Amino acid sequence: MQTEAFTELFPLFNAASQETLEWLLSVAVQHDYPPNRAVLMEDSWGNAVYFISSGWVKVRRLSGDKDMTLAVLGRGDFFGEMAILDESPRSTDVIALSNVELFSISAQRFIQTLFKDAQLHHRLLQLMVKRIRTNNIRLQLRRKPPAIKLAYTLASLAQQYGQQVDDGYEMANLPPQDLADISEINNADDVKKLMDKLTEKKWLEVDGTGRVLKLLNLRQLAQLASQ
């Protein structure tokens, strides 16, 4: 992959120097995972940062016999940095939701790069703060009706990770329980009912494979989310 394509794909590296980009590309390792495969396991020590070049993953936390999805990430995002920065075991699992292609950079090399390239270090902090702000918005939506919370989740995922097509945005058709978890909706059945209503309104449609969700009216979803 050329450095220009690398920076276009991964916003983290927008401010990195050419020397940094060339070195990172030379040490990055590519990985492929099928759906439902564990990419990272909770309690394992952080030994790399992972960058999603295609596909979707979920970050989940186990609690006894139950698990909860904390976030869904897609193309251009990254994970694994927290276990490296605080030098502790991972507190979450990462599971592939679709076919996923990743690049990994070892912990030692990533930390070395942060020390050498101040702009990259600053950009990482900016993106981590952005995640905190996103979580704050989710907290503010906690008392909103389920329809508004679901609309916010779908619109934000499509805008951040979705692929724009002629008649809308395409994204992974996420399981109702995962959508319920990240939208903080108590019941996955409520999510199913809301998705059916949005489909009837022709705001959404699922392709024939059942794997791809198309948002046909992102503007209306975003307006609903802002109420």
What confidence tens digit (pLDDT) does each residue in 47-70 have? 889 999 999 999 998 877 788 999
Q: How confident is the model at residue 44 (pLDDT cuts 50, 70, 90)?
A: low
- Residue 156 and residue 127 share a domain: no
CATH number of the domain that 42 lies in? 2.60.120.10
- Residue 148 and residue 102 share a domain: no
Predicted local distance difference test score (pLDDT) of residue 98: 94
CATH number of the domain that 208 lies in? 1.10.10.10
C-alpha–C-alpha distance, residues 154 and 220, integer Å: 11
Q: What is the mean pLDDT of the chain?
A: 91
Q: At what angle do helices 107-116 and 118-140 cross, to 10 degrees?
A: 110
- The domain boundary, picked from 81, 110, 139, lies at 139
pLDDT of 43 strictly over 80: no
Report the number of distinct structural domains present in the chain: 2
- Residue 122 and residue 74 share a domain: yes
Q: How confident is the model at residue 123 (pLDDT cuts 50, 70, 90)?
A: very high
- The domain boundary, picked from 114, 139, 164, lies at 139
Six-digit token pair at 51? 């960058």
- Helix (H/G/I), strand (E/B), else coil: 77: coil
The boundaries of the domain holding residue 54 are 3-139
- Residue 168 and residue 151 share a domain: yes
Overall average pLDDT of the 148-170 stretch: 94
Strands (E), 155-225: 163-165, 168-172, 204-206, 212-215
- The domain boundary, picked from 77, 110, 139, lies at 139
Rg (CA), the chain: 18
Torsion of CA 70, 40, 154, 35, to 10 degrees: -140
pTM over 0.85: yes
- Residue 118 and residue 25 share a domain: yes
What confidence tens digit (pLDDT) does each residue in 188-206 have? 999 999 999 999 999 999 9
CB 44 within 8 A of CB 84: no
- Residue 159 and residue 127 share a domain: no
- Residue 168 and residue 69 share a domain: no
pLDDT of 218 strictly over 80: yes
User: For the chain, what percent of residues have pLDDT higher than 90?
Assistant: 74
Q: Which of the 8 DSSP states describes residue 13?
A: G
pLDDT of 125 strictly over 60: yes
